[in-house]
Structure 1
Amino acid sequence: MYVLTGKSCGYAGDLLHGQLHYEGNSYLGEKVYATCNEGYTLKGQNYMICQASGWTGEFPTCEGKPCGSAGEIVNGRFVYSGVEFGDTATAVCDEGYILVGEVRRNCMSNGWDGRIPVCEAVDCDDPPVVTNAEMKGPQEPPYNYRTVISYQCRVGTLIGQKEINCTKNGTWSTPPECHENICLPPNVTNAFWMRAQNQFFQHQDTILIECRRGYVMNGPNSITCNNDDQWYPRLPECQEILCPPPNVANAFWRAQNQFFRHQDTILIECRLGFMMKGPNSITCNNDGQWIPRLPECRRRPRRQPYRRG
């Protein structure tokens, strides 16, 4: 509201993004003219008249000049804060594309400044070389976004994803490794194997294990180096051959052991009043048995009293 003081309309107000220009001292019949700053256009009548009731006419406004579209970006787009003077349009590329040019355009009094940028496809460098692996896929650049390279191990086992791809950042995803499978010599106590005593064994190497004399095998005698660096199916054990004390009634021997080892030999004697049938010397065999066989201690026959006829 504008108040008339005496014969003057006084101050007309502030014009956003523009200025008001007075003809004189705002007396009756005088005009005030509106002009807009650069980049803005006047909406409505460009002046008001001082009358008895005050300034007449609609108060002018200054609106930003429209710039419209900032343009089309192949494989990208503009994100707008608005499309009038002072607004901005920010270029954003689709995934897998990189911006070439200015990222932002400004709406000026004569339209958008700068040029429309370009979104170029991301390229990756040559794919990484994986030791002991063959590479399948494009053999020559360019390696564009989402290009896929696969690997196959010539030696060893593939650890990781067999395929890699050119990422949106222009780098390759993590390549796999070809792990050369090796097994350490089998740790089987009291055993040996009929093969060169290698420091390492490779994948699918197979060896035959034998127990030393006096031991018997528990488990497989053939083992293979598996792809997890372990022997398959499992390592055997070589258990010592033991014979129990001989079960001979009415007999004794000097060594009162709980068990006897392979090739232990003992001499058996019969108790008083018994006589031996069989060998008096027996040996613990490699199958846990006594050889040649256990003797017997039989009671001696009583002598018949002599009778005269």
Structure 2
Amino acid sequence: MINTFADCGTVPLINGGSITLNQAGNSSYGALAEVRCNTGYNTTLPTIECGDNGKWDNTTCDIVDCGNVPLISNGSITLIEDGNTTYGALAEVTCETGYNETLKIIECRDTGDWDATDCNLIDCGTVPQLDNGNVVLKVDGLSSYGTEAVVTCEQGYNTTSETIQCLDTGKWDKTSCEIVDCGEVPVVTKGTITLLEENNTTYTALANVSCETGYNLSKGIIQCLETGLWEITGCQILDCDAVPDVFKWDCSLTRI
């Protein structure tokens, strides 16, 4: 009796991959074939063999599944396509207020892992520089979301906000130091006050005081103070003090 070896014939077609004979032309009993899967797919058998029944081993290329999306501190991750966690699937990352994600969208990779992402606390960094003032962190070195900085202005300037906060945009509140304005010069009875520099009523501005005839001024030049008020002045009526004694003749003197 002549022994005949089983021949498995052409290697099978496989979804998501391909199969190649290890030895070209040899598909008989015991022959081996290599299974290669496309990116994002894994094989159940990397090598298949021709069996004595004349059939190749069964194998498949199964799509990689990354499983549940990861948990994340200070945020959440949601599948874009509900129920799809396989290779190429996408998920959206949402962080709590005051936190920024390192990746807004994550993907299921061919390794079977989701992209790594985090929700990091927002930091506004260096406090802003301020004309005619200064900004200092309330707590040295702490410039993250919700922290505050104190604003101080030079003499003669007022701040629009005494404290500023690090916002969820990653920027500090806006503030400025505005020069004090004393407004219109005061009205003075029996006199007038005129600005030395027209329309300038801000800190250190000067105004000339003049009084009507018969009145003396208490201050000839007044200044706009850091309080936002003009210096006080006035026109006081002239006072000649007590009437002098009149020379009196002594009528008792005998005329010679």
Q: TM-score, normalised by structure 1?
A: 0.44
Kindly report the root-mean-square deviation, in angstroms, between the aligned alpha carbons of the 2 structures: 5.2
Counterpart for residue 159 of structure 1: 101
TM superposition shift of 1:290: 6.7
Partners in 2 of 1:92 and 1:170 — Cα distance?
17
Residue 47 (structure 2) aligned to one of 81, 103, 127: 103
Counterpart for residue 9 of structure 2: 68
Counterpart for residue 127 of structure 1: 69
Counterpart for residue 3 of structure 1: none
> What SS does the corresponding residue of 2:73 show, helix, strand or coil?
coil
Shift in CA distance, 294/93, structure 1 to aligned 2, threshold 3 Å: farther
- Within 5 Å, which residues of 2 pair with 1:188-199? 197=138
Residue 286 (structure 1) aligned to one of 208, 216, 226: 226
- Tell me the matched-pair count: 194
Contact residue 105 and residue 112 of structure 1 kept, 8 A: no
Shift in CA distance, 78/84, structure 1 to aligned 2, threshold 3 Å: same
- Within 5 Å, which residues of 2 pair with 1:1-309? 68-80=9-21, 84-85=25-26, 89-103=33-47, 105=49, 115-124=57-66, 126-137=68-79, 143-175=85-117, 177-183=118-124, 197=138, 200=142, 203=145, 211=153, 214-217=155-158, 221=161, 225-232=166-173, 234-237=174-177, 279=219, 282=222, 285-286=225-226, 291-292=231-232
Contact residue 66 and residue 83 of structure 1 kept, 8 A: no
Encode CA deviations 1:155-209: one digit per residue, 9 max, x unaligned: 323333322121112121232x32323447767575689xxx5665764789995
Partners in 2 of 1:73 and 1:192 — Cα distance?
68
Alignment-mate amino acid for residue 226 of structure 1: L
Larger Rg: 1
Shift in CA distance, 202/156, structure 1 to aligned 2, threshold 3 Å: same
Shift in CA distance, 71/159, structure 1 to aligned 2, threshold 3 Å: same
Q: Which runs of 5+ in 1 are unaligned?
A: 1-37, 40-64, 248-261, 264-275, 296-309
Alignment-mate amino acid for residue 286 of structure 1: E
Q: TM-score, normalised by structure 2?
A: 0.51
Partners in 1 of 2:227 and 2:93 — Cα distance?
53
Partners in 2 of 1:164 and 1:192 — Cα distance?
39
> What SS does the corresponding residue of 1:231 show, helix, strand or coil?
coil
Q: Which runs of 5+ in 2 are unaligned?
A: 182-194, 197-202, 205-215, 236-256
TM superposition shift of 1:69: 1.0
Partners in 2 of 1:151 and 1:280 — Cα distance?
70
> What SS does the corresponding residue of 1:179 show, helix, strand or coil?
strand
Alignment-mate amino acid for residue 98 of structure 1: N
Partners in 2 of 1:179 and 1:100 — Cα distance?
40
Contact residue 102 and residue 114 of structure 1 kept, 8 A: no
Shift in CA distance, 120/77, structure 1 to aligned 2, threshold 3 Å: same
Contact residue 98 and residue 122 of structure 1 kept, 8 A: yes
Contact residue 224 and residue 230 of structure 2 kept, 8 A: yes
The structure whose RCO (Cα within 8 Å, separation 6+) is larger is: 2
